[in-house]
Chain A
Amino acid sequence: MDSAKMRLLLLMLLLIAGCGGMMDDIVPSDKDKRPAITCGITGPDVCQNAPDFTLSDTLGNIVSLSSVVSTPGVSGTVIYFTMWCPICDMHMSNMRASVLPNYPAVRFLIVDYVSGSVAMARNEELSNGYSGSGFTVLADTSQAVLDSFHATMGTTIVVDSAGVVRFNEDYKDGARLRSVLSALP
């Protein structure tokens, strides 16, 4: 390769490397950059009071977070955000098999934020094999809950019986979720 071509290639690589945010993957950081969280206020972060919401489940029942967490005998609530994709299915299957049966005092809410109606959310629940699964599927047709929790596909949140967020992460293998649920009072 002549020097002109080499210089052009290097220039291209430098320009590409300068694109916004790319360096986060080119040179990943191991720094803990979590911002300081103000506890006790309403917000989606751990130690904050979970934003309340009211949605319809796929059977037409009105479900509010505040009423679920305050139900006697309920020690905590898991909220999982799905778009019915293969990764979502893998997470939900994993949760269904390895988490849900072991925590009978915990309520599991699945928030469908892509279906535009309760009927469509019900259709997805059925066609993806989650009818009668132990999950309560909620239709977030306006993405209001998605936005209030700053969530996306796979976001998993645990709210304790006092309405405080105890966990807010992308779902992985369920191990950390289990440890948080086991530590609930």
Chain B
Amino acid sequence: MKMRSKRTCFLAALLAGAVLLSPLSAWAGSCCGGGLATSLILPKFYSSMVDVSVDVEKYNGYWDHQGIHRADPAGSDLQQYRLNMGYGQRFSPRWQASVVAPYVWNSNVYSGLSSRTDGLGDMSMSLWYEALDDLSAWKVRSIKDMTPSVLIGTSLLIPTGISPYDEVNNSFDVTGRGFYRLDGNVLVSKTIHPWSATLSLAYGTYLERTVNREYGNYVEPYHKQLGDRTIALFSLSYIMYFGTGGDTITGIASISQLREADATINGVRDSSSGFKKDTVSGTIVYSSTDHDWIVRMMWNHAIMFDGWGENFPSTDIYTLGVSYGFR
């Protein structure tokens, strides 16, 4: 029974981690840079974890301000590559923290221009509290078996990337947004073997900053604050056991919505700045028998039709990640 409980907690955390490690969105390498950091969640019985992943994000047009999907310029090939390095540490049975740092390569090829730049992206530090444990079973026998795991967390995005407000030559150099952001996160996950469902909600607010330089040119200083950001993600998973040792493969399908409100400049709303994006994802996660090694492959796809985004690039993101947990 204890073994099953451990496995269940592990799977719940694994699914939660797979969800949160999904790169929900990034600003376009084609125009705005924006290497992103996500979060890392440790399985229940691990003291620490190291995670390394590689994202390949390919740009396939954008939605304009009316939600009409438009193609990128003919002859263009716009991609961003990210190497994400994460470390998570457990402080107590219910508290854990993590840090994720991306390194970003922008590759922009147009019919009349090409550019390749790289640099550190924006880092993220997170703190999580495991409020409820999922005590799910293979069969629901009582209401207690319906208890989900609930994680409550906060994340701080740190502007370690190259932003438009740094000493840059042009927009191709950008790998970060240049603002601190504080997020509140809630993650609810429930496993009834072999199925699992996860709902993740995040609300973030950027901290106001002063700007005295744009793309390398000093300007009259002003105050700027990006708009509040909300992310909602729902995923459904199916866990398969194979072999005699307990290796698992988990298939995850998810849908996410990202919204960012308009920025303000000196307290006045900039109506040309907000955006939204909806995506779907498919993820395959392999976990070794002892669960120390986790390998995941993910495909995040923007629905490239009118109305599935506004004022934002549409992309496909391919991710390959490996985690190792220390007990």
Asked if B73 and A86 make an inter-chain contact with CB atoms under 8 angstroms apart, the answer reads no
Least CB distance, A104 to chain B, in whole angstroms:
23
A93 interfacial contact with B, CB 8 Å: yes
Digitize A143-178: 1 where CB-to-B-CB distance is under 8 Å, 0 elsewhere.
Answer: 100000010111100000000000011111111000
A34 interfacial contact with B, CB 8 Å: yes
B176 interfacial contact with A, CB 8 Å: yes
Contacting residues of chain B (130-166) with chain A, CB-CB under 8 angstroms: 158-166
Asked if A26 and B159 make an inter-chain contact with CB atoms under 8 angstroms apart, the answer reads yes
Chain B residues with Cβ below 8 Å from A141 are 112
Chain A residues with Cβ below 8 Å from B165 are 24-25, 28
A35 to B214, CA, bound (A): 14
Digitize B92-124: 1 where CB-to-A-CB distance is under 8 Å, 0 elsewhere.
Answer: 000000010100000000111100000010010
Asked if B71 and A127 make an inter-chain contact with CB atoms under 8 angstroms apart, the answer reads yes
Task: Pick the residue among B65, B160, B218 that contacts A22 (CB under 8 A).
Answer: B160
B62 interfacial contact with A, CB 8 Å: yes
Least CB distance, B77 to chain A, in whole angstroms:
12
A64 to B179, CA, bound (A): 40
B288 interfacial contact with A, CB 8 Å: no
Chain B residues with Cβ below 8 Å from A5 are 89
Q: Indicate whether A172 sits within 8 Å of B28 (C-beta atoms), given known contacts A5-B89, A21-B166, A83-B110.
A: no
Chain B residues with Cβ below 8 Å from A22 are 120, 159-160, 162, 166
Contacting residues of chain A (121-137) with chain B, CB-CB under 8 angstroms: 123-124, 127-129
Task: Pick the residue among B32, B65, B113 that contacts A143 (CB under 8 A).
Answer: B113
Give the nearest-CB partner of A139 in chain B. Answer: B112
Asked if A16 and B113 make an inter-chain contact with CB atoms under 8 angstroms apart, the answer reads no
Task: Pick the residue among A19, A29, A84 that contacts B72 (CB under 8 A).
Answer: A84
Chain A residues with Cβ below 8 Å from B271 are 94, 173
A9 interfacial contact with B, CB 8 Å: yes
Chain B residues with Cβ below 8 Å from A168 are 217
Chain B residues with Cβ below 8 Å from A129 are 64, 68, 70
B221 interfacial contact with A, CB 8 Å: yes
Asked if B111 and A120 make an inter-chain contact with CB atoms under 8 angstroms apart, the answer reads yes
Least CB distance, A60 to chain B, in whole angstroms:
17
Asked if A30 and B212 make an inter-chain contact with CB atoms under 8 angstroms apart, the answer reads yes
Give the nearest-CB partner of B179 in chain A. Answer: A25
Task: Pick the residue among A25, A28, A89, A115 that contacts B62 (CB under 8 A).
Answer: A89
Least CB distance, B115 to chain A, in whole angstroms:
10
A40 interfacial contact with B, CB 8 Å: no
Task: Pick the residue among B71, B89, B111, B219 that contacts A115 (CB under 8 A).
Answer: B111
Q: Indicate whether A115 sits within 8 Å of B110 (C-beta atoms), given known contacts A83-B31, A89-B65.
A: yes
B74 interfacial contact with A, CB 8 Å: yes
Asked if B99 and A9 make an inter-chain contact with CB atoms under 8 angstroms apart, the answer reads yes
Asked if A152 and B311 make an inter-chain contact with CB atoms under 8 angstroms apart, the answer reads no
Contacting residues of chain B (48-71) with chain A, CB-CB under 8 angstroms: 62-65, 68, 70-71
A117 interfacial contact with B, CB 8 Å: yes
Least CB distance, B281 to chain A, in whole angstroms:
21
Q: Indicate whether A152 sits within 8 Å of B73 (C-beta atoms), given known contacts A83-B110, A170-B215, A173-B265.
A: no
Asked if A169 and B112 make an inter-chain contact with CB atoms under 8 angstroms apart, the answer reads no
A101 interfacial contact with B, CB 8 Å: no
Asked if A113 and B212 make an inter-chain contact with CB atoms under 8 angstroms apart, the answer reads no
Least CB distance, A165 to chain B, in whole angstroms:
13
A87 interfacial contact with B, CB 8 Å: yes
The segment out of B17-25, B167-175, B291-299 that lies at the interface is B167-175
Give the nearest-CB partner of B271 in chain A. Answer: A173
Asked if A89 and B73 make an inter-chain contact with CB atoms under 8 angstroms apart, the answer reads no
A94 to B270, CA, bound (A): 10
Asked if B28 and A86 make an inter-chain contact with CB atoms under 8 angstroms apart, the answer reads yes
Chain B residues with Cβ below 8 Å from A33 are 212-213, 218
Ordered by A's residue number, 20 sampled pairs between the chains whose C-beta atoms are within 8 Å are A1-B89, A5-B89, A16-B123, A22-B159, A24-B165, A25-B159, A28-B210, A29-B212, A29-B221, A32-B212, A33-B212, A86-B28, A114-B76, A117-B111, A120-B75, A123-B74, A150-B216, A152-B170, A171-B272, A174-B272
Given A29-B210, A93-B65, A120-B73, 10 other A-B residues pairs in contact with their CB atoms under 8 A: A16-B120, A22-B159, A26-B158, A83-B30, A85-B30, A87-B311, A116-B113, A117-B111, A172-B272, A175-B268
Residues of A near any B CB (own CB < 8 A): 1, 5, 9, 16-17, 19-22, 24-26, 28-35, 83-91, 93-94, 113-117, 120, 123-124, 127-129, 141-143, 150, 152-155, 168-175
